[in-house]
Structure 1
């Protein structure tokens, strides 16, 4: 009788144990809105060299692949979208989407009642982070698309987004999801406004682009769309910036608006181009070439 009771209690405890967080291994994609899909197509294919593909998440959208696992998703700008908003969501690869959904639900995050499954077999769901940004967790399909090597870059190493309250966001990204610090800096010494944290089970990262003002979420009212596009961005890792810019210039592929190349505050070479709606595509070398400003790196760099 005692043994039976002990086993029953053990079974009950196991059944009610809090779910554990599955692995979050990499950036999957950034989804952006486009006011002119044809112009966006020219930018992502002809200038960035991405491979165009159908969008299993949205039949009206297009995926632009940089490798079989990572892409930029371009969606037609919906009617009624706030004038300056061009970022739809940021997405991260998880080993088990259903386990991630259960984990977040157990931690009192509002989640959908079930996963969505795409035509390619991928599974995903979306939640809102503390500042109401849409965050997607995607379990990739068993069969990935055939994507040839991109001579410019085959790796999205980070995504960045406008952020108002670092402490509040840290509770979600670092506390609940397990993201870990990578580097922090800014334009002015002693005032860090670019806060980077790597995914917990990989080396890609997401970057808070801290802004000040009365707003608690979204794009500040007095911020131009061009500035919002600088902050809500994605970055492509490159091994050698000189070769990258030479390839772009030699092929007449530099966008109408661009800046750099330059060494950023983190000590890495970078070069920026902008899609037709102002979203920044940042080319960045994987490793710093000089000592970084502001703080040291606290985690290993991504690799090619």
Structure 2
């Protein structure tokens, strides 16, 4: 891809993840974006052409500097993080390194080279007592994960580089190699196998289609929007309602869904009860247009169908 004055060079960290792969999909459709996709290990995206892929562990500061000085990005979208909430409680050092220290390194480099940093954060910076939340609501994280993401936000907000923080909620979607699971694929897979599911009925979320979140990332980059934006789906569900909606969409047996209280689960990290976001700022400034949950499930269904057809064709 040739670089012109109007072309925006965007470096993405964690490009092998669900969001990272969806950003790659969108960048390939945008002639004004030159993408440098970076992640640990080999490239998992099925399309290998039309962008640059770099094997990068962002915890390797020297390597990170070398990649940035070599590719001169205008924008860095940081999707890399330890996002398993319970794993963060069990491995606070690993959580700190990836969710805080790596962000400090990125901020320093963005300040040095005049790069716009777009960072992904989470609804878990809130305690869930008064959702849905606007961007200026006071944070009060309940878990190490939530605290680590809030600490990273503070580092970014105190920096002198151009910065954007996109907070999101419960991201779902499909990647080609099925290397990333999420609540929709988990629920669908278990119900298809006839497995009973214990699902909490006392937590509420606004699930986010990965394609919508990727679109928000690209919009923030191309519009050079600064500040904090809340990015999620339109629809609020209790988690058991969300799983029931998955069962209903694919005509699966909803009697397998057993509703339980959060207190009955032996989870290492506490979860906020009701989060959800007010999306007015993202709609107005970014032009963000999230799909409904049913529209999101239809997109997931089409992608799973396409994957199944491709797999079957490859077997012949």
TM-score, structure 2 as length reference: 0.30
TM-score, structure 1 as length reference: 0.30
Larger radius of gyration: 1
Structure with more of its chain in helix, by fraction = 2
